[in-house]
Amino acid sequence: MSRPAALNILSQRAARHEELGLGRSLRSMGQTSGRWVEVTGGKCLLLASNDYLGLSTHPRLARAAAEASLGCGTGSGASRLISGTLQCHVDLEDSIAQFKETESALFFATGYMANLGVVATLAGPGDVIVSDELNHASLIDACRLSKAEVKIYPHGEVAEAARLLAGAPAGAMKLLLTDGVFSMDGDLAPLPGLREAARENQALLVIDDAHATGVWGPRGRGSLDHFGLEPTPEVVMIGTFSKALGGLGGFMAGAREVTRSLVNGARSFIYTTAPPPAQAAAALAALELVDQLPQLREKLHELSALLRELLQEQGFKLLSPAGPIIPILVGPANKAVALGEGLLRRGVFAPAIRPPTVPEGTSRLRLAVSAAHEEEDMHLAAGALAEAAREVGL
Ligand SMILES: Cc1ncc(COP(=O)(O)O)c(C=O)c1O
């Protein structure tokens, strides 16, 4: 039987993508320990996960999730505003607010949904969003959904962000939007300057701290903690439990007025079933562990510094000065894929990151270190990468 024309169109599009080296397919991972993973039948060093503290395999999280399921069931049954708000959600939100030192917090099913909900509720038609050019896709989608006027500033340029905010019409809601740590470059946003720019222009500063929560700052509170800044009321923090916190779920932490607006207006909060008890219980356990196990964060930063040093010795130029996200810039998508495959043949898994995840011509490998790793893993990774890079002529 012939295939419908619509499916042929999809096949043609896919073929064009493949030609450009941009085809994507799902690779199934076998068992993982946070350090090792089974890929295509072999055991490899895992350098492609955001499980920065190795908490996704921590028995305390697994136990908390299992006990919550056994005690409260596997589903919450309805959206938060109907009958889905359970005591575990309320406890978790109290705990998030305490952790982030804010007046209030709200739990979402994922970080992506938190970003959509926060930005599209706070800003609408007639409002202005000033957004860093390298912000995560979920913030970009959130801007589109808001229908506000979106002004993009060059990566990290505070003066330009301030100028764009100052140009917004009087009376408009102004949002200044940035990742706390940029997911594909690994650098921190210049938060002291951005917060000043937000203050001077009566704007809210929205920080997506997905890659900073649990990782950055002396207490692991995130990017503000790193800069020694208090979370003042004009700061709206967004985060996720899916990375350093080893589980799943997003959150907003900020002023009471923001939480009230979201409960009343965030469609990605209102029109979806509340996250199950297991997810909330694991999230709560993860927040506790960030406080109880500071040694994980210390180890993560030590290992990251070691890998960075070893890579620099091998002649690699790094895009950011510190932290567990270490991009190796390649350029063309096909070459980045070849480098990733070469690395995999040498027992290290860190696949290529290509457009549209990163800008055209900046395809790369994104190495991500975890506290689940050991020193010897950093040596293995640097050696394997140097060999694979020579093989592809990098
Ligand atoms: C910067 C950033 N924000 C938000 C998200 C979305 O978080 P989640 O995976 O919880 O949906 C991600 C990654 O997935 C991210 O990298």
Q: Does residue 243 have an active-site annotation?
A: yes
Q: In the prediction, which pLDDT does 27 show?
A: 85
Token pair 């926060």 is found at: 118
The DSSP annotation for 53-94 comes to: TSGGG-HHHHHHHHHHHHHH-S---SBIIIII--HHHHHHHH
CA distance 289 to 160: 39
Identify the residue whose C-alpha is closest to ligand 1 atom 15: 210
> What percent of the chain shows pLDDT beyond 70?
100
Q: Does residue 115 share a domain with residue 76?
A: yes
**Same structural domain, 31 and 157:** no
Cα 198 from Cα 161, distance rounded (Å): 9
| Window from 10-19, 179-188, 197-206 with minimum mean pLDDT | 10-19
Give pTM, 2 decimals.
0.96
Mean pLDDT score, 8-30: 88
Please give the Cα distance from 284 to 64 (Å, whole number): 9
CA-based nearest residue to 254, from 218, 302, 205, 292: 205
Ligand 1, residues 136, 181, 182, 252: which to mutate, most atoms within 8 A of Cβ? 136
In a domain, 18, yes or no: no
Per-residue pLDDT reduced to its tens digit, 261-294: 999 999 999 999 999 999 999 999 999 999 999 9
The pLDDT of 321-329, averaged and rounded, is 97
Identify whether 301 is a catalytic site residue. no
**Residue 34 has what pLDDT?**
86
DSSP annotation string for 358-386? S-TT-EEEEEE--TT--HHHHHHHHHHHH
Q: What angle do CA 180, 34, 392 make, to 5 degrees?
A: 80
Tell me which of 183, 213, 269, 279 to substitute to probe ligand 1's pocket, judged by most ligand atoms within 8 Å of the beta carbon: 183
pLDDT band at 41 (very low <50, low <70, confident <90, very high): confident
Please report whether residue 4 resides in a domain: no
Q: Is 147 tagged catalytic?
A: no
The yes-or-no verdict on residue 25 having pLDDT over 90 is no
Residue with tokens 């899916």: 242
Mean of pLDDT over the chain = 96
Asked whether residue 324 is domain-assigned, the answer is yes
Given a cut of 90, whether residue 1 has pLDDT beyond it is: no
Local confidence band at 28 (pLDDT 50, 70, 90 cut-offs): confident
Question: Once rounded to an integer, what is the mean pLDDT over residues 192-215?
Answer: 98
Q: Has residue 310 got a pLDDT over 80? A: yes
Is residue 31 a part of any domain in this protein? yes
Distance, CA of 100 to CA of 290 (rounded, Å): 12
Say which CATH number the domain at 70 has.
3.40.640.10
Structural domain boundaries enclosing 194: 57-292
d(CA 108, ligand 1 centre) in Å: 12
Residues 123 and 251 in one domain: yes
Q: Which one of the listed residues 104, 183, 242, 370 is annotated catalytic? A: 183
57 in Cβ contact with 372 (< 8 Å) = yes
Determine the distance separating the centroid of ligand 1 and the alpha carbon of 139, expressed in angstroms: 9
Residue 370: is its pLDDT beyond 80?
yes
How many angstroms separate the alpha carbon of residue 206 from the centre of ligand 1? 14
**Which is catalytic among the residues 58, 100, 243, 373?**
243
281, 380: one domain: no
Of residues 153 and 38, more confidence is placed in: 153
Which residue lies with its CA nearest to atom 10 of ligand 1? 111
Ligand 1 atom nearest residue 115's Cα: 4
Question: What CATH number did the domain enclosing 329 receive?
Answer: 3.90.1150.10
Residue 10: inside a domain, yes or no? no
Residue 67's pLDDT is 98
In this prediction, residues 98-113 reach a mean pLDDT of 98
Q: Are residues 106 and 243 in the same domain?
A: yes
153 with 73, same domain: the answer is yes
Of 292, 311, 344, which residue constitutes the final position of a domain?
Answer: 292
Q: How far is the CA of 112 from the centre of ligand 1 (A)?
A: 6
Q: What is the pLDDT of residues 342-365, one digit of tens each?
A: 999 999 999 999 999 999 999 999
The per-residue pLDDT for range 45-77, each reduced to its tens digit, is: 999 999 999 999 999 999 999 999 999 999 999
Q: What is the pLDDT of residue 217?
A: 98
Cα(225) to centroid of ligand 1, in Å?
20
For residue 245, the model assigns a pLDDT of: 98
Of 270, 292, 314, the domain-final residue: 292
Pocket-forming residues, ligand 1, beta carbon under 6 Å: 110-112, 115, 136, 138, 179, 183, 208, 210-211, 240, 242, 250
| pLDDT value for 358 | 95
